[in-house]
Amino acid sequence: MPIYQYKAYVAGGGVTTGVIDADTPRDARSRLRRDNILVSEISELRGGRKVKGSESSGAAVAKGPSVMERLKAMRSTANAPSNANLDIVSAATRQLGTLLAAGIPLTEALRALIEQTEHREAETMFRQIRERVSQGSSLADAMAEQPAWFNDLYVNMVRAGQATGNLDVVFRRLADYMQAQRSLRRKVVSALMYPAMMVGIGVIVVSILMTVVVPKITGMLIDTGQSLPGPTLVLIAISNGFKNYWWLGCLIIAAISFAFERVYNTSPNGRLAIDRNLLRMPVLGDLLRKQAIARFTHTLATLLESGVPVVSSLEITRNVVGNRVIADATEVIRTRILEGTDIGTPMRATGAFPPVVCYMVQVGEQSGELEQMLDRVGAAYDEEIDVTTSRVTSVLEPILIVFLAIVVGYIVIAIVLPILKVGQIQ
């Protein structure tokens, strides 16, 4: 059934836009008219885009932004589309699992999602998926046509669920997996948020001192005509640098940030070097390694439990671990499996995984409970991440406090020394 985008008048003279599925534009107009919605413009949507030759009622309506233009504008707002998409897909996944488990047909379950969603872009996406499924396409293929919403992991798990007839179970596993990943991400972000705020506030305070407070006080000291001690002269030089060359500092920071992002996103060797050095950092490196391993074990376990072949599972897992060192190790394991070996032996040989993880994987392979063992390893690392995040915060807090105390203390001493010297002379 085609999907149409419309612009219409509602009761009271307001203008609204939306999407609706109907056999023809006339059917769409009739259905909307029954809801007291008078259509002024209507056009068919295919692949999220308008089909040329939109219909109009001839009413003089002021030209305004289309639905798709508004959706594009939404992408530039503070809410990142990837985060918004993740929240919508996560909720929809759990609802689909519940509806299918209750025996509701897939097309009716998708219709329920369409009626419940309040996000225009998501509504269009679900309508397009339902239309493709109604035409005989598989749900996995229909979702694969929406890469902004469903990644390879999601599509492959759905495909495996359809092949095994356990689609409702797969959706529940996917929902649990997505919820666990979001929780893991929040833990790491919360561990780094407070230190980042302290650094930001410290930079602001020191900048104000060096550009506003210090110049006024040192100017008064210079006017006395007395020779100033070394710490004060150094402070004056630093203050003048802040005041006169702040733009150069901002430019250098921007250039470094741009170069870092460019190297990380475009150079495989550069990203590998950065990720390797991040893992070597004290405390923080341990947290990042545990996060990557937890994501590796949970993702691989979820894929294997859903019936995805081990080689395909490793290929998908490689793309979601978030660290190039672990990703390259995963590719080595996948290659060795294609040569006929097991998982545990090449995993140990890469050196990227702790020995206990390799041992647990080998035990799981030998006992035929690899998926369950991976889940246990992931759960154990989730608990360790909680402990490590607390450790990161407890270590960084005193370091930052001491550093800021040293900086502010030096400023105070450099100002007080010449004042004391003037007092002694008098």
Least confident range from 178-182, 251-255, 274-278, 334-338: namely 178-182
| pLDDT at residue 79, rounded to an integer | 35
Asked whether residue 300 is domain-assigned, the answer is: yes
Evaluate if residue 70 carries a pLDDT over 50.
Answer: no
Q: What is the CATH number of the domain that holds 86?
A: 1.20.81.30
Helix or strand holding residue 4 (H, E): strand 3-9
Asked whether residue 183 is domain-assigned, the answer is: no
If pLDDT is split at 50, 70 and 90, which confidence band does 176 have?
confident
User: If 0-12 CB within 10 Å is exposed, 13-18 middle and 19+ buried, where does residue 393 land?
Assistant: middle
Asked whether residue 37 is domain-assigned, the answer is: yes
If pLDDT is split at 50, 70 and 90, which confidence band does 73 have?
very low
Least confident range from 46-55, 157-166, 277-286: namely 46-55
- Is 206 found in the same domain as 150? no
- Is 229 found in the same domain as 257? yes
- Is 264 found in the same domain as 233? yes
Distance separating alpha carbons of residues 202 and 401, to the nearest angstrom:
9
Question: pLDDT of 371-381, one tens digit each?
Answer: 889 888 888 88
- Is 91 found in the same domain as 65? no
| pLDDT at residue 65, rounded to an integer | 38
Question: pLDDT of 279-297, one tens digit each?
Answer: 888 777 888 888 888 888 8
- Is 194 found in the same domain as 167? no
Residue 413: helix, strand or coil by DSSP?
A: helix
Asked whether residue 312 is domain-assigned, the answer is: yes
Q: What is the mean pLDDT of the chain?
A: 79
Distance separating alpha carbons of residues 257 and 52, to the nearest angstrom:
43
Q: Which of 158, 178, 198 is the last residue of a domain?
A: 178
| pLDDT at residue 218, rounded to an integer | 79
- The arithmetic mean of pLDDT across residues 65-72, rounded, is 36
Question: pLDDT of 332-358, one tens digit each?
Answer: 998 888 888 888 889 999 888 888 889
Question: pLDDT of 85-100, one tens digit each?
Answer: 777 888 888 888 888 8
Residue 14: helix, strand or coil by DSSP?
A: coil
The tally of domains found in the chain comes to: 3
Evaluate if residue 39 carries a pLDDT over 80.
Answer: no
- The arithmetic mean of pLDDT across residues 3-23, rounded, is 72
Asked whether residue 362 is domain-assigned, the answer is: yes
Which structural domain range is residue 362 located in? 188-426
Question: pLDDT of 126-163, one tens digit each?
Answer: 888 888 888 888 888 888 888 888 888 888 888 888 87
Q: Of 29 and 124, which is predicted with more confidence?
A: 124
Q: Which two tokens stand for residue 31?
A: 């259905």
- Is 420 found in the same domain as 340? yes
| pLDDT at residue 341, rounded to an integer | 84
CA distances from 285 to 120, 181, 329 (A): 41, 19, 17
- Is 108 found in the same domain as 37? no
Q: What pTM was estimated for this model as a whole?
A: 0.62
If pLDDT is split at 50, 70 and 90, which confidence band does 54 have?
very low
- Is 221 found in the same domain as 131? no
CB atoms within 10 A of CB 280: 12
Question: pLDDT of 229-248, one tens digit each?
Answer: 888 888 888 888 888 887 88
- The arithmetic mean of pLDDT across residues 8-27, rounded, is 72
Phi, psi angle pair for 15, to nearest 5°: -115, 135
- Is 111 found in the same domain as 61? no
Under 8 Å between Cβ of 146 and 128: yes
- Is 110 found in the same domain as 63? no
Q: Which of 20, 51, 75 is the last residue of a domain?
A: 75
- Is 124 found in the same domain as 258? no
Asked whether residue 202 is domain-assigned, the answer is: yes
- The arithmetic mean of pLDDT across residues 64-90, rounded, is 48
Q: Enumerate residues 6+ apart whose C-beta is below 8 A from 86.
A: 178, 182
